[in-house]
Amino acid sequence: MNFQLTIEPINNIQSDLQIVLVAQKDLEHTFVQDKELLKKAGFKGGQDETALFLERDRLYVGVEKITADNLRTATATAMRTLVSTSYNHVSIASYLDETKSADMIRAMVEGFELGAYRFEKYKSDKRSNPVTDITISLEEYHGEILDIEACAHALHLGQITSEATNFTRDIVNTTPDDCYPDVMAHIAKDLAEEYDLHCKILKGNEIRKEKMGALLAVARASRHRPRVIHLAHKPKNPKAVISLVGKGLTYDSGGLSLKPSDFMVTMKADKSGGSAVLGIMKAVAQMNLPVEVHGFVGAVENMIGGDAYKPDDVLISKSGKTIEVRNTDAEGRLVLADVLAYAQQEVKADYLFDFATLTGACVVGVGNYTSGVMGNCDTPKNLVTEAAQCSGELVTKLDFNRYLKKTLKSEIADICNISNTRYGGAITASMFLAEFIDEDHRDKWAHIDIAGPAFVEHVWGENPHGASGAGVRLMLRLLENLSK
């Protein structure tokens, strides 16, 4: 999609269609040219409410209030509304909140790109969004003057961020027969070549040499061999060193603790954490952020067979801790335990974050649209929640407590891979991971459970049916904040 900024007034732009974002309080404002038609159409200016006047070549989209989040979802709604039309070139004016920030431009651009996303790889009749060109006038409806350089920079960041998010969505949406561990490794290699990233891929013997017994056990019954991916962006004199770890379960059948058939559908999305790490690394390289960023992905398939790991097995993790297996469907934390240990061995980071579709309990606790952030220390968790406020992603803290820690006790090993209670499952899973964080990183680590928003089977906000690319925009804002 091609974007252009102009200082020309919105009504002087020659485009096929003009998009007007309007709140209920502004329905009588002079910039609203179709007041009577809007009244006849029953348009009230509610968030994401639309009114398309084909005879006027104008699309009105409601916003409750001028905020980055509202503009993002409004422009995404505009793209979805126009998908069945033949408009190629659209124009839109600028909008500012009380901060007068060019971030409003970024939010609009992200909305356009994210709303235009369609995954049609497996459809015979493919239909792309007709809009190819978008002109944004720097004429703000309420007379504010926008800085064109700041707006151009915001537009650039918005494009990179949304393209990385859509890149991640594509990986997550791809079926397990077409995206297995070796495919994820090849995606990483291609990113490294295109964006000058350092890349290291561990295969079978190398993983065994690293003594990743927990990860190897999960992978054992699959015909697709596991891969451990390490991508790195290494600028000179970095302002911080960050490690990101992603759960890359390219498919999760549940193993011998087999999932019910209904719960097995959409398990291609269990690679969302690893896919997000790949998308983040792509964007970090494009932005050339002055932050050293390392992305680690444990790419594994959890299947059943004669060689499958079993409930009652005791696994020896990379850290040396022994793990009693009581449920083979709690496999993501086993993979992460070893990859987190490997990441800490390879990089002494200022902050360590992991992303995983780890628990259904997180979805039960906070819903489909919100990620849970957990850890030992408030500092990294606060970095995540602060970044969420401007990224468009929703995040909430879930606190550890000593009583839940006791539920992971094993009588025959150092720790059990599941809790002995059905309650607080998101927290106990994170507390399991905390056992594999070394002292150097103990207060620098946060776990982000993206099980809710990573894959939702309906349209919501700026997100389509299916993969949302959860974690990408969130972490990019955090890394940008650290680079200032």
pLDDT for position 143: 73
Using the predicted structure, report yes or no on whether residue 341 has a pLDDT greater than 90. Answer: yes
pLDDT for position 308: 98
CB 213 within 8 A of CB 316: yes
Average pLDDT over residues 278-293: 98
Instruction: Mark residue 143 as left, alpha or beta (left: phi above 0; alpha: psi -120 to 50; beta: remaining).
Output: left
pLDDT for position 43: 94
pLDDT for position 478: 98
The pTM assigned to this predicted structure is: 0.97
State whether the Cα torsion 346-351-355-361 is positive or negative: positive
Write out the catalytic residue numbers. Answer: 259, 333
**Pairing of the two strands 227-233 and 241-252:** unpaired
What stretches of 216-313 adopt beta strand conformation (E)?
Answer: 227-233, 241-252, 292-302
Alpha helices of 212-259 — where are they, by DSSP H? Answer: 213-219
Summary mean pLDDT of the chain: 96
Report all structural domains of the chain as residue ranges with CATH numbers, in order of start.
2-146 (3.40.220.10), 170-482 (3.40.630.10)
Maximum mean pLDDT: which of 17-31, 131-145, 375-389: 375-389
Work out the pLDDT band at 204, boundaries 50, 70, 90: very high
CB 350 within 8 A of CB 372: no
The rounded percent of the chain whose pLDDT value lies above 70 is 100
Would you tell me the crossing angle of helices 272-287 and 181-195 to the nearest 10 degrees? Answer: 10
**Pairing of the two strands 415-416 and 322-324:** parallel
